[in-house]
Amino acid sequence: MNRNRKAFLDMIAWSEGTSTSPATKCDGYDVIVTGADKIPEVFTDFRTHPFAMGRKSKVINSKGLTSNAAGRYQFMLRDYAHYTKLLKLESFRGGAFGPEAQDIRALQLIRECKALPDIDEGRIESAIRKVARIWASFPGANYNQHENAVSKLLDAYTRSGGTFGKAE
């Protein structure tokens, strides 16, 4: 993985709050969406999505909105089976929801938004716009949740070693 892609993934994790969660023991790969109770929670079994075995979604606000987002990039359960099959992650080393598998899933979502060339060429604002609908914390996502400003995302990207030119 080139440094721009790695920095972009780190930026997503920072924005989603997983890599900075006080509960994480695995750089955010183990984080479950924080509920309305504001208690951070993690999982330890990376064989599958933590909600895949029937666990109920968490209530995340006072209006009763629920979520089952989990992992470094806060993947929703509704997408889990599709991407596990598409990317052939069923018996993946480290588990179908392990850190490497989560990175592969995130890169696939970015690829589907046609943002990988932008990341590789250092056009990060363009990439952010293209993937904004995927991550609730991105500007313009419109999920009625906190959205980070582009300037904050760019700061996180550069702190992680990303560049604004062609990645090496």
Q: What is the pLDDT of residues 81-98, one digit of tens each?
A: 999 999 999 888 889 999
139 contacts 147 by C-beta, under 8 angstroms:
yes
The domains of the chain are located at 3-159
Catalytic residue among 16, 90, 112, 125: 16
Residue 100 falls in the annotated catalytic set: no
Residue 156 to residues 22, 48, 54, 131: CA-CA distances in angstroms?
A: 18, 29, 35, 16
The band of 167, judged by pLDDT with boundaries at 50, 70 and 90, is low
What's the pLDDT at 92?
86
Taking only the tens place, the pLDDT of each residue in 49-71 is 999 999 999 999 888 889 999 99
What's the CATH fold of domain 3-159?
Lysozyme (1.10.530)
Q: Is 67 helix (H, G, I), strand (E, B) or coil?
A: strand
Please tell me what DSSP assigns to residue 118: H
Positive/negative CA dihedral, 62, 148, 140, 69 = negative
Checking if the pLDDT of 124 tops 90, the result is yes
Structure tokens at 165: 């030119």
Strands 66-67 and 31-32, by their bridges, are: unpaired
137 pLDDT above the threshold of 70: yes
Token pair 């979604």 is at which residue?
A: 57
